[in-house]
Structure 1
Amino acid sequence: MSEQHDLLEDEGAGYLISVADMMSGLLLVFIITLVAFILNFQDAIQKQEKVTETQKSIVRKLTNREQIRKQLLLEIQSVLESQDIIVELDTEHGVLRLTEQAVLFNSSEVTLNESSKTNLEIISMVMSSILPCYAANPPDNSLCVHKTEFKGTLDSVFVEGHTDNVPMNSWRYKDNWDLSAQRAITAYRHMMNASTLSEMANTSGQPIFSVSGYGEGRPVVGHAHTEPTNDPVNRRIDIRFIMSPPSLTEAQRSIVEAGAR
């Protein structure tokens, strides 16, 4: 009887030892898994911090480009006003608006009167004295010596044509969209003929200046008429400035791509 009792105790002790060993093993696995999780978590945090810092850097560069554009527009406006040419600015969207006091189109017409031609020539000369320093191929002269940080910041300049909302009644143009594009082309060609603006290039080696037409689709705020209205405010030319996006180093690009995974 004693031997049987001793046998049962040995079997029970062996069972407890097996359970204890199993629990120890599970605990060890748990600890290893927890350590691995903590290390991966710390690594993820470090990567995210790098991505966040890179993103902040990009935002700062974008904000700086917006500030550069605002200063550029204000400088052009100031010089034009000294020449008695009144323009309006939309610094948020980078638009220099040539009001009807600067450039006037008669209804359904693309022809420029002598006053508008003169003003466009002055506008062209003013931009020719300022904008090249913002191109990727600035001239090698004293004008840009103190503006080297602006090199390559200007990507595109759109000469935009607009119309009022009176339906087109001329056989020469299909509709207001066609009319607005022709107005933009007319203004563009007159400015290019009076300057060297066409020689400006962006960082991709492409011409900076181009044209676009919007018909009646983008009226001036407060001039969105529900009825056809012969409105000279909307028969206008806008000049829109687009800045180049900030470039990323290979290291910054790798960090951003890694963070997006």
Structure 2
Amino acid sequence: MSSKRNQMIDEDESPNWLATFADLMTLLLVFFVLLFSMSSLKQERFEEAVRSLTLALDSAPGSNSLIELDAQAPTPKIPQELTEEVLPATQYSLDDGAKPNDAEARRQLLKLQHDWTPMSQELEQSFEMLSLSDAVEIADPKDGKLRLRIDGSALFESGSAQFDRRMMPLLDVVVNTLRRNPQYKVNIQGHTDDIPIETAQFPSNWELSAVRATTVLRYFMRGGLDPERLTATGYGDSLPVEPNDSAKNRARNRRIEFVLEYQVE
């Protein structure tokens, strides 16, 4: 009788794991209830949090919101002290240090501001002392350069590149002045009138003007000037100072020009 009763009790008992499983389900239910209760946030607080996060992460132009909201987050302002105004190179102070793309602009500005009065006066006085003023014309400085026009007929005979030795004192004035002023370089330019020339030595006025310019250049080099300060160019009849319509005007167009340029270190 007792054995039969014990067997009935054993059959009515539940498995041991069932209680543990029931407890786990209860805990999960409580957990989800807590999550649901915590999720009821106010929309205003949610939007404020999103704006703060977006403002911290924003780095691209355009919309600065991760989630579309009724109002946009304010665009961060760049502090004024971090901005820098870019000025043209020519507006920099001459006392400033060299800046990118500024060195050449600075040199050009100094050339334009150079005072040519002492050089012009020195040359004029020297030519007057030798009674050569009629053969030389000193033009007004232009584009940072000073031009001396020498009457071509005073230096060279017609169709010749051999200069008149009586005019050597005129060339010596220019040489000595340049030797005393090493900050200048000179371009020697040969010019002719429009009367054509065709000889074995000079097929055209281009060759004649070029040889005349280089002849003067060699004389300057023999006078002690540094060749790096000298250039020679022949222009033929391409750059007349007067129309070639009279003998007087043609005589003015036959010339040698010394173009002095101030060198900025």
Q: Is the 8 A contact 1:105 1:236 kept in 2?
A: no
Determine which structure has the larger helix proportion and give its number.
Answer: 1
- Name the CA distance, whole Å, in 1 between partners of 2:238 and 2:89: 44
Q: Is the 8 A contact 1:160 1:184 kept in 2?
A: yes
Could you say which residue in structure 2 is the equivalent of 1:15?
A: 43
Q: Quote how far apart the aligned CAs of 1:192 are.
A: 4.3
Q: How many residues end up aligned between the 2 structures?
A: 203
> CA deviation digits over 1:208-228, x for unaligned, max 9?
1232111111111xx133799
Query: Which AA in structure 2 matches 1:89?
Result: I
Q: 2:138 aligns with which of 89, 96, 100?
A: 89
- Name the CA distance, whole Å, in 1 between partners of 2:108 and 2:190: 28
Q: Is the 8 A contact 1:104 1:235 kept in 2?
A: no
2:218 matched to 1:189?
yes
- Name the CA distance, whole Å, in 2 between partners of 1:230 and 1:49: 45
Q: 2:118 aligns with which of 71, 74, 77?
A: 71
Could you say which residue in structure 1 is the equivalent of 2:166?
A: 118
CA root-mean-square deviation: 3.7
Cα distance 1:26–1:111, how it changes in 2: closer, same or farther (>3 A)? same
> CA deviation digits over 1:81-102, x for unaligned, max 9?
221112112321421111257x
Higher RCO, Cα 8 Å, sep 6+: 1
TM-score by length of 1: 0.62
Could you say which residue in structure 2 is the equivalent of 1:251?
A: none
Q: Is the 8 A contact 1:168 1:175 kept in 2?
A: yes
TM-score by length of 2: 0.61
Cα distance 1:128–1:96, how it changes in 2: closer, same or farther (>3 A)? same
Higher-Rg member (1/2): 2
Could you say which residue in structure 1 is the equivalent of 2:69?
A: none
Cα distance 1:65–1:224, how it changes in 2: closer, same or farther (>3 A)? same
> CA deviation digits over 1:23-74, x for unaligned, max 9?
34445667783135x4442xx22x6499842468766764544424453233
Identity of matched residues, %: 20
- Name the CA distance, whole Å, in 1 between partners of 2:37 and 2:127: 105
Q: Is the 8 A contact 1:124 1:192 kept in 2?
A: no
Could you say which residue in structure 2 is the equivalent of 1:144?
A: none
Q: Is the 8 A contact 1:167 1:175 kept in 2?
A: yes
Structure 1 spans left out of the alignment, 5+ residues: 1-7, 136-152, 201-205, 248-261
Q: Quote how far apart the aligned CAs of 1:134 are.
A: 2.7
Query: Which AA in structure 2 matches 1:238?
Result: E
Matches for 1:95-244 after TM superposition, within 5 Å: 95-100=147-152, 103-113=154-164, 117-119=165-167, 121-135=168-182, 153-154=183-184, 156-193=185-222, 195-197=223-225, 200=226, 207-220=228-241, 223-225=242-244, 231-244=250-263
